[in-house]
A and B are shown apart, each in its own frame.
Chain A
């Protein structure tokens, strides 16, 4: 065991040093995405995607359950089952990581790139609680594991260009796979100018530039034991947010981990994986590029997380058991300094996240029991202890303005249970599940201090006295197959108690110039969210297929108001032609009119839209190497539109021609 520790430490540091060198050199080079991406449990070769170089955001958006909230052309925020960050548990390979921006400008999906990942696991509702508590579900961005194939070096280069926004992408990936040693280095660089909405209307402040480098090293200690070290450095600069009053001059993350993996097919313990990790994020908002602001301000934020998990998988007879013991410690600090227009006045300073420390430790257990050849029952639970501490005296005193009795520490005990029945036959499959889950308020919901939300134009105050949010959930899924025709339906229902949302306090005076007022986070007695999707596909011939999906979502609070950010009626229809060397698809995608919008929570009616996309791809084999070419047109008709998930109705991209080329050697 001592050896493992020594190995892991030395690996960790060697990885660290290596990366430092790389940052300087790789920036302008290219990388490649060798990995296979999974959404839900669907396996999607990245070479089958429309764009080999599309971002994680683009990938996630392909899932029925997930919609991305857009504040600009970068760093989209994932929502699942119509619930956003604070109701989801988003992890990177089981690692907890928290954005450092009080205005949700840096969802953690923005700190990794597709080149870092092997697959994305999406668990809806309480199925997504393996790594932490959630109401809406969990998204785990899986890093690749080391591969000891002994086949030496393998590299690939990717280049991409898109006409809209003059968007350039370049990536390089080099991997060495030995019998005992595995090393992978990849880097990706992305830069875009302002994009144009339909009818060539330039969207100001929608530019971005970022690069991401990652280094992975693996060492196989014995047949059953191996060690992995992984380091990701991600840096975005000059990111515009057209929907917000401020941009970002720096969003920087360092994500590191060391993992010990035990695998054995012949024993009761099939696998045992233990990881220690650390990540640190710096996020600096910037308004220096905006010509007219009521007041200049700096808003930096920091988030550091230390954690571990140890998960074990056991199999015996009909049982497939897994346990995950995990814990983390997070420190979130954000501040705001405003510079008065009168230079004689002193700068105004406040903590917007007053150094909140979150300590969590919990255990997850799951058993998948095969009760017959076709039927499986799965039960799972997660129990955890959650503590928030206000680390800064000034922060505590600030919040005592609103909560005079507030102490610096708050403990919570969180529970989650889920049960699921699955039936699978050749003709059809079906599943039915129920669950109960709880979550603690997020740092902003619990401790935020005058956080301006440009969506409803209110300042928000956290409320540390709130109860845990609790949800009862039921979900059902069924698929039916007749020859080449398939039809499926999937539905989830959430009854959420103590639903956390900001309520207007008319006695409070807004801090932000021009804001409508102040909302204090409080709990609605209950809220209901329902979503249903119907999808069908038909294979006309071996190579030609059509498929379509329609979705309907509903959300309402006990106060009789619609919930905000509930997706209206949506549809996707696609016709695809696919052979080994060539593929083409044409896609129609749209939303109905958002009739059930929530004016109470600052929404307006978003009109219906539909767009048409064309995607083409070729694979060309050159001796031992291959070249993958992807090209197409998005929004062919150059529609000027925005969706319900576009912050402040910023319009989306107009017509866009794109081409990606990947060369594997």
Chain B
């Protein structure tokens, strides 16, 4: 009987304290703008130190989302009004080339952090060969810094570089899923054309046929996958990728141009177990 009276009082008291705690939390919102990110490297010149961050703290081949912060060496404060572009370059024995990229822009909701991405389509075994030049403008003054960076080979093929049947070179890179689940995943892929050694514009309005397979399990597929179609708002290709179990998956692809002509890749059949254009995924 007594419980009947005690219980509401108890509940009310719990509720009240909870409210006041909320208030306290609101007053102290000191959250670092780089929380959850790991520093990859610093690039410095006489005036500034450029800090590069991502989730893992290392660059791997494939699509890399990179956060960047510019520290004024004189004041030790972070610049909030920079305009930035960057140029990754791979120095090969006979030539140099760049790779697809998006220049950093101010990260939403942040003051000092800028985000962009770079798609390294290859790497040397020891991670050497790549350098990164960051050009930035602060208060109409131009600065630049160049440094070697280390890019390691990803275990799985998450980027493919190839010559299409139209004699143009293309790069296809997986952007998502970052953390695949057993179930329906949003597959996001970037497609770029290698126009010159240094220019890699986005390829628009192509499409990619998708056929995910598990080579370790009789090369079976999964149901309800869709083909990748172009989305003009983020300039990437989107599809539904269903993964019925964890493990090693090969995403067999065929790249089709606007007219529907296959530029690269083949259908998977019993004789042809894998397309020549594919990405890999393991979880």
Residues on A lying within 8 angstroms of B by beta carbon are 294-295, 336, 338, 340-342, 345-351, 394, 396-398, 400-402, 404, 449-450, 507-514
Q: A346-B282, A348-B247 are in contact. Are A509 and B216 (CB under 8 A)?
A: no
Selected A-B contacts with CB under 8 Å, 8 pairs: A338-B216, A348-B247, A349-B182, A394-B182, A394-B183, A400-B184, A511-B220, A513-B218
B184 touches A508 (CB 8 A): no
Interface 1/0s, chain B 206-228, versus A by CB < 8 A? 00000000101110111110000
**B184 and A401 contact, CB distance less than 8 A:** yes
Bound-complex Cα distance A336 to B217 (A): 13
Whether the Cβ atoms of A397 and B184 lie closer than 8 Å is: yes
A660 CB to closest chain B CB (Å) equals: 47
User: Is the CB of B38 closer than 8 A to any CB of chain A?
Assistant: no
User: Which of B217, B224, B246, B283 contacts A401, CB < 8 Å?
Assistant: B224
Residues of B within 8 A of A394 (CB): 181-183
* B212-251 interface (Cβ within 8 A of A): 214, 216-218, 220-224, 242, 244-248
The CA-CA distance from A294 to B184 in the complex, in Å, is 27
| Alpha-carbon distance A513/B220, docked complex (angstroms) | 8
Assess the A401–B216 pair: CB atoms within 8 A: no
From A350, A351, A401, A510, contact of B218 by CB (8 A): A510
Q: Which of B181, B221, B247, B282 has the most CB of A within 10 A?
A: B247
Report yes or no: B245 in contact with A401, Cβ–Cβ below 8 A: no
Known: A338-B217, A342-B216, A346-B283. A401 touches B242 (CB 8 A): yes
Bound CA–CA A350/B183 (angstroms): 10
Bound-complex Cα distance A350 to B222 (A): 13
Q: How far is the CB of B264 from chain A (nearest CB, A)?
A: 23
Known A-B contacts: A348-B248, A511-B245. Give 9 more (CB < 8 A).
Answer: A340-B248, A345-B247, A346-B282, A348-B247, A351-B182, A401-B223, A507-B223, A511-B217, A511-B220
B-chain residues with CB within 8 Å of residue A396 when the two chains form the complex: 183
CA separation between A348 and B283, bound complex, in Å? 9
Max count, chain B CB within 10 A of own CB: residue among A394, A398, A450, A512: A398
Q: How many Å lie between the Cα of A345 and that of B181 in the bound state? A: 17
B245: contacting residue among A341, A345, A348, CB under 8 A? A348
Docked pose: A513 CA to B283 CA in angstroms: 21
- Report A-chain residues with C-beta under 8 Å of the C-beta of B246: 346-350
Q: Distance in Å from the Cβ of B273 to the closest Cβ of chain A?
A: 13
B268 to nearest A CB, angstroms? 10
Kindly state the separation between the CA atoms of A559 and B247 in the bound complex, as whole angstroms.
Answer: 39
CB-CB under 8 A from B220, the residues of chain A are 509-511, 513
B218 surroundings in chain A (CB, below 8 A): 294, 510-514
| Given A342-B216, A348-B214, A397-B182: A508 and B223 interface contact (C-beta under 8 Å) | yes
Q: Is the CB of A401 within 8 A of B222?
A: yes
CB <8 Å contact, A401 and B244: yes
Chain B residues within an 8 Å CB radius of A398: 182-183, 244
Query: Of B217, B242, B248, which contacts A513 at CB under 8 A?
Result: B217
Tell me which of B182, B221, B244, B247 contacts A347 (CB under 8 A): B247
Complex Cα distance A404/B224, Å? 10
> Which residue on chain B has the smallest CB distance to residue A401?
B242
Cα distance, A274 to B183, chains bound together (Å): 44
- Interface residues of chain A: helix, strand, loop or mixed (majority): loop
Q: Which residues on A sit within 8 Å (CB–CB) of B216? A: 295, 338, 340-342, 345, 348
Chain A residue with the shortest CB-CB distance to B181: A397
Q: List, in ascending order, chain B residues with CB within 8 A of A404's CB.
A: 184, 224
B249 nearest CB across to chain A (Å): 9
Give the docked Cα–Cα distance between A102 and B223 (Å). 22
- Nearest-neighbor residue (CB-CB) of A459 within chain B: B220
The one of A295, A341, A511, A513 that contacts B244, using a Cβ cutoff of 8 Å = A511
Quick one: closest A residue to B221, CB to CB?
Answer: A509
Per the 8 Å Cβ criterion, residues 183-211 of B in contact with A are: 183-184
| Contact residues in A for B224 (Cβ distance below 8 Å) | 401-402, 404
The 10 closest A-B pairs by CB, nearest first: A397-B183, A348-B247, A340-B216, A350-B245, A513-B218, A509-B221, A345-B248, A401-B242, A349-B246, A509-B220
A350-B244 in contact given A401-B224, A509-B223, A513-B217 (Cβ < 8 Å): yes
Within 8 A of A (CB), among B88-112: none
Residue of B nearest to A394 (CB): B182
The CA-CA distance from A136 to B216 in the complex, in Å, is: 41
Question: Contacts A295-B217, A507-B223, A509-B223 given: A401-B183 contact, CB under 8 Å?
Answer: yes
Determine the distance from Cα of A227 to Cα of B131 in the docked complex, in whole angstroms: 82
Interface contact A349-B245, CB-CB below 8 Å: yes
Least CB distance from B248 to A in Å reads 4
Shortest C-beta distance, B240 to chain A (Å), equals 9
* A338 close to B181 (CB less than 8 A): no
Closest to A507 in B: B223
Q: Chain A contacts of B223 at CB under 8 A?
A: 401-402, 507-509
Q: CB-nearest residue of chain B relative to A345? A: B248
Beyond A346-B283, A348-B217, whether A338 also contacts B247 by CB under 8 A is yes
A347 / chain B contacts, CB cutoff of 8 Å: 246-247
Contacts of A508 in B (CB 8 A): 223
A350 touches B282 (CB 8 A): no
Given the complex of chains A and B, what is the CA–CA distance between A512 and B214 in angstroms? 11
Residues on A with beta carbons closer than 8 Å to the beta carbon of B182: 349-351, 394, 397-398
Interface centre among B182, B221, B246, B283 (most CB of A within 10 A): B182
A341: nearest chain-B partner, CB-CB: B216
Closest A residue by C-beta to B241: A401
Q: CB within 8 Å of A: which of B52-84?
A: none
Q: Please name all residues of chain B whose beta carbon is closer than 8 Å to the beta carbon of A507 when the two chains form the complex.
A: 223
State which of A294, A295, A400, A514 has its C-beta within 8 Å of the C-beta of B183: A400
Please measure, in the bound complex, the distance between the C-alpha atom of A489 and the C-alpha atom of B66, giving whole angstroms.
81
User: A346 and B217: CB pair below 8 A?
Assistant: no
Residues in B neighbouring A342, C-beta threshold 8 A: 216
Residue of A whose beta carbon sits closest to that of B282 = A346
Q: How far is the CA of A338 from the CA of B245 in the complex (A)?
A: 10
What residues of B have a CB within 8 angstroms of the CB of A340 in the complex?
A: 216-217, 247-248
Chain B residues near A402: list those with CB within 8 A. 223-224
Question: A569: shortest Cβ distance to chain B, in Å?
Answer: 40
Q: Which residues of A contact B282 (CB under 8 A)?
A: 345-346
Q: Which residues of B contact A341 (CB under 8 A)?
A: 216
CA–CA, A118 to B248, complex, Å?
Answer: 53
Give bound CA distance, A340 to B224, whole Å.
24
CA distance A398 to B242 in the complex (A): 9
User: When chains A and B are docked, how far (Å) is the Cα of A345 from the Cα of B249?
Assistant: 10
Shortest Cβ distance from residue A52 to the other chain B in the assembled complex, whole angstroms: 48
How many angstroms from the CA of A348 to the CA of B218 in the assembled complex? 13
